[in-house]
Chain A
């Protein structure tokens, strides 16, 4: 902290909330790069007198109103030549994006409920987004968004639900990010954007999911479902998997069983119904082969046999099962079938190797007992020989 900064010296002496900025700014990224109060708020930090320091004539701005905050920050953050001096890697289009966001559009309409820069980044004590304590660090983002999006009063005024954060926390993505700390898992901004935050919408949702699930999306795009969804105006992935509460998909979602999603559109006897049934049957067949082979290999391993080759086959079968599940999104049985068949062959090979190892185990034990029998006979022979040799003999 600069010794000659009268803003800091003076505000530090307050016991009221006016001292808060100086307490928070100790870990502020701006302060760390040599900026201080006057660089944002204007005024003269060298003046000892309060009136002189906060003189409007010296450019003192003071505290910006909430609706002015985006523009207030954008004075520097939207200026590439200025930002280059401090952090050339930081984009300078955040303000432009913000104006396109729901938040930006609404604040322009005078809606003061919506998020501005300080809602997510804090006003003083702003940390780098790489700092794990930053509100915009990946694992903290859901909680930061939830500050407003779980506030029933605010959300009611805008006709929005407050359950998204709870739903996300239960989802496969939320579990990965919040419970396992997997920073690669998607958070709110991954799908909605950060400064440009908006709903993905029916058309864009497939693209949003494809950021990670690219193969699935490619298969879907080539399938008959693509045109059908467009015709019916259905959001692609969301129809089957939902949005915030996305669960780990199970095989029960496929087929014609009571939990199957296919039957919500495809009537019994229809081509889609039959395909769904065949796909599920194929997956179940591969699973059954894999389970059987795994049991055989485990049995062989428990007998102390080397099963590394068989385990390799099991891994291949498991990989094919995962691939087949992905290829369900081709919604074409003929596309998925070769993958299943490949997996079945790997599982059968692994099973055969496991069986061979078990047979080898029994062969070894039998061989040992036969050898021990021969050894036993040899010992008896030797004892008889010694006895015969040492038997007292009478004079011949």
Chain B
């Protein structure tokens, strides 16, 4: 008996993995004109793997305290062999993973892949996107440079706007009245312990559901063609991953991550403080929102609306009732397009403002 078969037999006798293994072995992936969008989930997964690998390497040198964080990152960037590359890859892949997750979510939305029985796959996917944004928010502060410090100040101020829970949440995140050493410890703890636990749990569920239920086919596709998931689709996935690896390496070498100046809590907030690009649309909405709406604080209304939009996103499989009945409704698509245009428009507007002021 070959070694692989003996190993398979060893596990088969001990664990009931048969159904999952059978599903994977017989899983097929539909082939049609929208098949391109099937690859974005895999790309997101690959980038998450890069983040875990590069993050673990960064942990070898990173020191999570206000007095040492900046110096440890500088040491890593300048003295450690390939330290610059590991940090640049981590910084670039952090942005790309959010981008790929956005594209994946948008494609799943427009192809209505959240239809029964895949509602929970959508829910876990939407929650994963929120988690990834949480990774971005907490990771941004860790180098303890001026830009990150003040962006975190602004970000945690926004969290404090939420009624009742806001001040508690803000105090919990900051670990005090203002952003400081304790905030850094907490963000580090969130970034490398709490968020990864949530991520791995949700990701495991998300992938298991996909393996068990297979890929959804859009309503408009009547084509019955399909290819086996293993190895045909996985090999195509692999091409995408290798291409992505090349892209991450190229941008990391040509535009390596910078470090800036060490954060000075007593300095005046510098001009042009902005969060990472994927928070820009929310940031810009807050800036443009009127100070008062119907007697309520404008900031509160804006944060409330953003929260509602997030909640609605999670509940899309139940809100889009026509899709549950196997029909496509124009209004759902219109809302999706409008939302996408709003996010893109506000992001580019904020970038434009940032460059011209």
What per-residue 1/0 map shows which CB atoms of B218-241 lie under 8 Å from chain A? 000000000100011001101100
Q: How far is the CA of A364 from the CA of B249 in the complex (A)?
A: 10
> Is B35's CB within 8 Å of the partner chain A?
no
> Is A383's CB within 8 Å of the partner chain B?
yes
Neighbour of B243 across the interface among A308, A364, A379, CB < 8 A: A379
Contacts of B242 in A (CB 8 A): 375, 378-379, 382
> Is A368's CB within 8 Å of the partner chain B?
yes
> Is B200's CB within 8 Å of the partner chain A?
no
Contacts of B74 in A (CB 8 A): 306, 308
> Is B160's CB within 8 Å of the partner chain A?
no
- The answer to whether B235 touches A368, judged by C-beta atoms less than 8 angstroms apart, is no
| A306 to B, closest residue via Cβ | B78
> Is B77's CB within 8 Å of the partner chain A?
yes
> Is A389's CB within 8 Å of the partner chain B?
yes
- Report the interface size for chain A: residues with CB under 8 A from the other chain: 20
- The answer to whether B77 touches A389, judged by C-beta atoms less than 8 angstroms apart, is no
- The answer to whether B239 touches A372, judged by C-beta atoms less than 8 angstroms apart, is no
> Is B250's CB within 8 Å of the partner chain A?
yes
Q: How far is the CA of A385 from the CA of B236 in the complex (A)?
A: 10
Given contacts A309-B78, A379-B242, A379-B243, contact A386 B249 (CB under 8 A): no
Q: Name B193-236 residues within 8 Å CB distance of A.
A: 227, 231-232, 235-236
- Report the interface size for chain B: residues with CB under 8 A from the other chain: 22
- The answer to whether A382 touches B253, judged by C-beta atoms less than 8 angstroms apart, is no
Contacts of A308 in B (CB 8 A): 74, 78
Q: How far is the CA of A309 from the CA of B77 in the complex (A)?
A: 13
- The answer to whether A372 touches B250, judged by C-beta atoms less than 8 angstroms apart, is yes
Contacts of A382 in B (CB 8 A): 235, 238-239, 242
Contacts of A367 in B (CB 8 A): 253
Q: How far is the CA of A367 from the CA of B238 in the complex (A)?
A: 22
A377 to chain B, nearest CB (A): 10
What per-residue 1/0 map shows which CB atoms of A364-394 lie under 8 Å from chain B? 1101100110011011001101100110000
> Is A132's CB within 8 Å of the partner chain B?
no
Q: How far is the CA of A135 from the CA of B255 in the complex (A)?
A: 57
B325 to chain A, nearest CB (A): 36
- Of the listed residues B77, B84, B245, B253, the one surrounded by the most CB atoms of chain A closer than 10 A to its CB is B253
A374 to chain B, nearest CB (A): 9
**Number of A-B contacts defined by CB within 8 Å:** 46
Q: How far is the CA of A271 from the CA of B78 in the complex (A)?
A: 50
> Is A304's CB within 8 Å of the partner chain B?
yes
Given contacts A372-B250, A375-B245, A379-B243, contact A386 B256 (CB under 8 A): no
- The answer to whether A386 touches B250, judged by C-beta atoms less than 8 angstroms apart, is no
Contacts of B236 in A (CB 8 A): 386
- The answer to whether B246 touches A375, judged by C-beta atoms less than 8 angstroms apart, is yes
Given contacts A308-B78, A385-B235, A386-B232, contact A368 B243 (CB under 8 A): no
Q: How far is the CA of A386 from the CA of B256 in the complex (A)?
A: 35
Q: How far is the CA of A308 from the CA of B250 in the complex (A)?
A: 24
Neighbour of B256 across the interface among A304, A309, A371, A378, CB < 8 A: A304
What per-residue 1/0 map shows which CB atoms of A213-251 lie under 8 Å from chain B? 000000000000000000000000000000000000000
Q: How far is the CA of A376 from the CA of B242 in the complex (A)?
A: 9
Q: How far is the CA of A382 from the CA of B245 in the complex (A)?
A: 15
A41 to chain B, nearest CB (A): 52
Contacts of A306 in B (CB 8 A): 74, 77-78, 84
Given contacts A309-B78, A375-B246, contact A364 B238 (CB under 8 A): no
Q: How far is the CA of A306 from the CA of B76 in the complex (A)?
A: 12
What per-residue 1/0 map shows which CB atoms of A331-373 lie under 8 Å from chain B? 0000000000000000000000000000000001101100110
- The answer to whether A389 touches B235, judged by C-beta atoms less than 8 angstroms apart, is yes
Q: How far is the CA of A372 from the CA of B246 in the complex (A)?
A: 6
Q: How far is the CA of A368 from the CA of B250 in the complex (A)?
A: 7
Given contacts A382-B239, A386-B235, contact A368 B78 (CB under 8 A): no
What per-residue 1/0 map shows which CB atoms of A259-298 lie under 8 Å from chain B? 0000000000000000000000000000000000000000
By a beta-carbon cutoff of 8 Å, the part of chain A in contact with chain B is 304, 306, 308-309, 364-365, 367-368, 371-372, 375-376, 378-379, 382-383, 385-386, 389-390
Q: Which 5 A-B pairs have the closest CB atoms?
A: A368-B253, A375-B246, A306-B78, A382-B239, A386-B235
Given A306-B77, A365-B253; 15 other pairs, CB 8 A cutoff: A306-B84, A308-B74, A367-B253, A368-B249, A368-B253, A371-B246, A371-B249, A372-B250, A375-B249, A376-B246, A382-B238, A382-B242, A386-B236, A389-B232, A390-B227
